[in-house]
Chains A and B, each alone.
Chain A
Amino acid sequence: MCGIVGRVNAAGRCVEREALTLATRVLAHRGPDGEGLHVEGPVGLGHRRLSIVDRLGGAQPMANEDGSIWVTFNGEIYNHRLLRAELESKGHVFATRSDTEVLVHGYEEWGEEIPSALRGMFAFAIWDARQQSLLLVRDRLGIKPVYWSRVGQDLVFASEIKALFAFPDVVREHDLQALPSFLALRYIPGPRTAFKGIQRLQPGHLLTYRDDEVRIRPFWDVPVRAAEQRSTDEIEESETLSQLIQSAVRLHLMGEVPVGVFLSGGIDSATTAWAMRQAETSPPTSFSLGYEDPGQDELPYAHLAAEAIGTRHRDVVIDSQTFGDSMEDLAWHLDEPNSDGACIPLMHLARGAREEVVVVLSGEGADELLGGYQIYGKMLTIDRLRALGGPLVDPTLTVLARVVPQPKVRKYVGLARRPLERRYLGVSRAFTDELIDRVFGPGTMEVLIEDFAPLWDRAHDATPLDQMLYIDTKVCLPDDLLIKADKMTMAASVELRVPFLDHELLEYAWTLPAHLKRRGRVGKRLLRVAMAGKLPQQILTRPKQGFPVPLRHWLRTSLFSPCREVLLAASSSARAHIGEQLIDQLLTEHRSGRADRTEELYALWVWETWHRVFLTDRLEQRLEGCAVTNPPWAEPAAAMPG
């Protein structure tokens, strides 16, 4: 795992080496083991390396034999040995054992079709000097991030937004259009970011830059129409799933460094750890996060799983003080506001893991593959009730929405009045629809819902469960969960791998009928069948838990004051845009226990902190800090195989 950055100037203007060097060093946490630059006329590529595969020979940027093709690459190509064999049979000669070199020769052989041949997580850029073109690619599910922007006619890109600001002509301007999305969803759906003019390259897409023009096209999509098309046998499918998971986990163990596993005590991470144990002779090291406050975490389940599977286990424990002190670090590493409460605990878990391992596997993605989230059950129940009620449903719900006093019940009554495609916006939410319309004006939520319409159209023929899975796989997964997973682990220079998001495993999951994913209130039905007899029964029968963070309690007690101070400070942007009265109301309601405003308050706190870090002069200070870093390996380390 690494950090990549680059710039291609229009009209042949040379790239400034100094700015590129700074941009590369901003990403030092992504790759503490080495740095490389390639600057040649109008193109500059930078790379920070976390050495995992071919640690001695895989320096980047990497070129082909005659230096006409250059690659800067972040990620892992798990099928690189097979591709190498194929390319060798076509006459290509390899100089290293690195997976990066497969991109060099693969591009020579297949051109822009190369992403389809890759199995793995990747974001890479290939400069083709003969064509004077740049190819920028992001993996199918968005496991690795990459951002891009036009500066006049030029193109800049990087693994993290902050690196783009090392180029003095990249403008830092808050995109206020993204604010309602963030407050409603806890993250900003791509391709938009929190900054005007800076975009995420969408998962499964490639960007080409040639003759000053940018062209973007998809190379893959979730095979949504494949659902329910074949007859299935539960036991046969469970065994197939088990084997495919084991195969994916084996692939994800690739490398020459120690590999660990994040073990929460849920079925996903326990399955991952179990599959690692099957693949390796020595027990893997597992890591779990706990809190000083007793009873707030999943450590007892994690210990149960660790003992049953036979991992060497370690707990990392944090408290509210650590959490509150990490807010600025969180904003810096995330680049954009994301108010998933699990971000900071994950960052500390990764820091703890880094003391022993460089690569960590996790169970991320299993819920999106196999229908794990509880909200799917709730939405399907609402659908069934709507179908049962017939024409009486809407009038009844309209009356109920007026008379029900409890906000939570009123929220669900309000949701039940809408069809699924206007009700479901993904698994994570912060501000209610009511609150969004109150802050930003009536109709704001409607606009947000409309943004999802193309996705609902694409999944039109699928079952309701698959429609929700599609929305989450296309939006929530890449723009919330995977951004969080990548950046919080990279902040600790740890490479996170997510075997459940192996695209072949995902494509298989999309051929399964809904009843093998959810049955009644139980999600991930097939995974539970597959792991029967392999994991303890308590793990198999546990209901789905999110990453537990005692934020509700902390925001009523120890973190109330820090949060209040930030939100109601004189310079507070949140106060300017949301209003002091509303913020005060949210704080008061939450502290008094009249209502649970955890999501709203934490979203505002995250946003305000991000604003301070990126939109004040603090950013310059941080960038300067990166510039003075002068590690011993800072000499340009470009590699030319052959």
Chain B
Amino acid sequence: MVTIDARSGSGLETRKILLVGDYPPPHGGIAVHVRDLHCALRGSRATVRVLGLGGRDRDVPGVTSVAHSTTLAAHLVRYTSLGYLVHAHISGHTPKSWLVALACTLFRAWWARAPLLTVHSGLTASFLAVSGHHRALARLICRRFGLVIAVDPHLAAALAEVGTPSERLFVAPAFSPRGVDPGDLPDEVAELRRLLSPLVCAAVTERPVYGARALLQALPAIVRDHPAAGAVVFGPRTQELRQLAQAYRVADRVAFLGELPRARAQAVIGACDVFVRPTLADGDAVSVREAMQLGRPVAASAVGYRPAGVALFRAADPEELANAVLQALARGPIPAPPTDGVARVLELYAVRVPHAQS
């Protein structure tokens, strides 16, 4: 693995960048990172285009929504012929995501620079463990990229284990403080602030991997120490969670805000006393880093990669979750680590590794 001195990255060697990945936010860490990177590149001298996967049409300058593989291939042919350096962003825990990565390597002219790949998902190691086919696929594809970026050290280790050459493997978190810009606080939360204290905050959906059950079950134990404690949760599809809150007898202490734009979500995080990340599987969660950047204490499940200073608990364990929240509250805010994944990626655009397979 090559370590880049952050001070040595000076400017972009390549002027034209094509970002391929989920877009737009607020859905998921990949989209947030691609958006931050897009903004950062637009602010530099580079020309940047985004192929937003998932086909959600949004009117964002420089962004093209791609819903089908043929459209993706056509755009890749066009942009590579125009000299764009392709930077693919994939989850890495589905065969489909690796096939997208493979597609990003197919249309490069022999003289052009090898593309870059960022692998985001904390589940990638599990995907690679499932079968030799998965590992072979990942190895084959990673070797076709000039640089492979993992968003946390665990993920980098998993990619190294399948045979990604160490000289092309780098770590750059998906988080950038430049993406933290809280908007207006929803009125509902301002009101809750007066009624409930401490106020616990979490970003969840009803998908079990988000671990919302444990959070709701833990709330009564937090209430024993803090009789006015409550929670605000935001995220899409929370109808079942409302029913669960009833079942766990905490419905009167939990506010469900639904899906929020990123800036408002950050405002909510910033207004709460503690941020909780109860996920059962994770990578280096952007929301955890956002909360730390906003000066909030954080309690998070001990899965994936968590920055130093986070109060950890074992996933799906409500009792430990409650204790971690109490511990985080007692400890108070921890200084956010000086992490800027976008700056790191901009540096990496300047790194040339010549021996990628074409």
Residues of A within 8 A of B (CB): 79, 81-82, 85-86, 88-89, 116-117, 230, 233-240, 243-244, 246-247, 250, 504, 508, 511, 529, 532-533
Contact = CB atoms under 8 A, between A and B. Distances in A.
Contacts of B223: 85-86, 89
A85 B221 contact: yes
B317 A250 contact: yes
Interface stretch (B1-9, B183-191, B206-214, B334-342): B206-214
- Range of interface residues on chain B? 20 to 34
A247 B213 contact: no
Contacts, number: 84
A236 B319 contact: no
B315 interface: yes
A117 B216 CA distance: 13
Given A236-B209, A246-B316, A532-B130, 6 more contacts: A79-B217, A82-B322, A230-B206, A235-B126, A239-B280, A532-B126
Contact of B129 (A240, A246, A533): A533
Given A81-B319, A247-B317, A86 B281 contact: no
Contacts of A234: 94
Given A85-B221, A116-B247, A236-B93, A532 B129 contact: yes
Contacts of A81: 319
A147 B198 CA distance: 47
5 closest Cβ contacts across the A-B interface? A533-B129, A86-B220, A247-B316, A239-B281, A243-B280
A239 B221 CA distance: 27
B208 A235 contact: no
B126 A239 contact: yes
Given A239-B126, A239-B281, A240-B280, A86 B94 contact: no
Contacts of B131: 532
Contact of B208 (A508, A532, A533): A508
Contacts of B322: 82, 85
A82 B220 contact: yes
A246 B303 CA distance: 13
A494 to B, nearest CB: 26
Nearest to B219: A86
B123 interface: yes
Interface of B: 93-94, 123, 126-127, 129-131, 206-209, 213, 217-218, 220-221, 223-224, 227, 247, 249, 280-281, 303, 314-319, 322
B315 A89 contact: no
12 contacts: A82-B218, A86-B223, A88-B224, A230-B206, A234-B94, A235-B123, A236-B281, A238-B126, A243-B315, A244-B316, A532-B129, A532-B131
A246 B129 CA distance: 18
Contacts of B249: 86, 117
Nearest to A531: B129
B208 A89 contact: no
A89 B93 contact: no
A235 B93 contact: yes
B221 A86 contact: yes
B123 A82 contact: no
A86 B208 contact: no
A82 B281 contact: no
Contact of B220 (A85, A235, A237, A244): A85
User: Is chain A's binding surface mostly helix, strand, loop or mixed?
Assistant: helix
Contacts of B217: 79, 82
A619 B127 CA distance: 59
Nearest to A119: B217
A49 B266 CA distance: 54
B212 to A, nearest CB: 12
B315 A236 contact: no
A250 to B, nearest CB: 7
Contact of A230 (B129, B130, B207, B227): B207
Given A82-B217, A82-B220, A250-B314, A235 B280 contact: no
A258 B247 CA distance: 34
A247 B301 CA distance: 12
B25 to A, nearest CB: 20
B223 to A, nearest CB: 5
Contacts of A235: 93-94, 123, 126-127, 130
A240 B209 contact: yes
A531 to B, nearest CB: 9
B281 A247 contact: no
Contacts of A243: 280-281, 303, 315-316
A58 B213 CA distance: 30
Contacts of A79: 217, 318
B94 A511 contact: no
Contacts of A237: 208-209
B93 A233 contact: yes
B127 A85 contact: no
A529 B131 CA distance: 9
Contact of B224 (A86, A238, A247): A86
Nearest to B129: A533
Contacts of A504: 213
By CB atoms of chain A within 10 A, which of B213, B247, B280, B319 has the most? Answer: B280
Nearest to B128: A533
B208 A240 contact: yes
Nearest to B131: A532
Contacts of B317: 247, 250
Contacts of A88: 224
Contacts of B213: 504
Given A82-B217, A247-B316, A247-B317, A236 B130 contact: no
B123 A239 contact: yes
B96 to A, nearest CB: 10
Contacts of A532: 126, 129-131
A78 B327 CA distance: 23
Nearest to B316: A247
A89 B223 CA distance: 7
B53 to A, nearest CB: 15
Nearest to B208: A240
B205 to A, nearest CB: 10
Contacts of B207: 230, 236
Nearest to A239: B281
A607 to B, nearest CB: 43
A82 B93 contact: no
Nearest to A278: B314
Contacts of A86: 220-221, 223-224, 249
Contacts of B221: 82, 85-86
A106 to B, nearest CB: 11
B208 A233 contact: no
A612 B28 CA distance: 67
A247 B224 CA distance: 23
Nearest to A117: B249
A508 B214 CA distance: 13
Given A86-B221, A88-B224, A89-B224, A247 B93 contact: no
